[in-house]
Amino acid sequence: MRQGHLDGQDIDKVLNQKSGLLGISGLSSDMRDILTGIRQGHVRAKLAFDIYVHRLRAAIGGMAAVLGGIDALVFTAGVGENSPEGRAAACSGLEFLGLRLDSKTNARPSLDQEISTADSSVRVLVIRAEEDWAIAKECSKLAQAHQRGQQPRVLPRKSPSDRARERQANRVN
């Protein structure tokens, strides 16, 4: 803030719009642009991709450790659905979990498809996210409730401390 003479809004913009893949690569926050940059020999694009994959693998490994293994690994949404390179890199090094990626199927998957090999003990899936459909269904429910003159049922959002108290109470019971 001091060196760049940034105010709160400027800091917010840096952290939420100019960091991550864009900040590291200097190119873009879009993985497609990062992959194009890598193919063109852009060193910072490769660094951004490598950091992204490292963080993703660390998260998968951490979850597998906490859960005592994994039955399935699901790729979805933007990068998960559309980046065979991202999926392959994320799965690389996870063979110790019993995960075996079918490279041919991964290179050309259709959505809602398994991309692991037959001998993989972890199923690897590419699943369509369909956030728009989920939002549309909820909007339809609200509109129908309104037409019937009903108040839509909206559950209050619980604070983290409320959820922790509930978990503790459930453990005791």
Burial class (CB in 10 A: 0-12, 13-18, 19+), 136: exposed
**What does the pLDDT read at residue 141?**
81
Task: Give the per-residue pLDDT at 129.
Answer: 84
What is the pLDDT confidence band of residue 93, given thresholds at 50, 70 and 90? very high
- HSE-up of 23 (CA within 13 Å, CB side)? 10
How confident is the prediction for the chain on average, in pLDDT? 87
Reading the block at residue 132, the tokens are: 């728009």
Q: pLDDT at position 89, please?
A: 96
Please check the confidence at residue 71 and state whether its pLDDT lies above 70.
Answer: yes
pLDDT beyond 70 at 154: no
In sequence order, which ranges of the chain are alpha helices (DSSP H)?
Answer: 8-17, 20-25, 31-39, 43-67, 77-82, 84-91, 103-107, 131-147, 160-172
pTM score of the predicted model: 0.71
Q: Decide which of 109 and 92 is more confident.
A: 92
Do residues 24 and 38 touch, judged by C-beta distance below 8 A? Answer: no
Checking if the pLDDT of 131 tops 60, the result is: yes
All domains of the chain, ordered by start, with CATH?
Answer: 1-69 (no CATH), 72-152 (3.30.420.40)
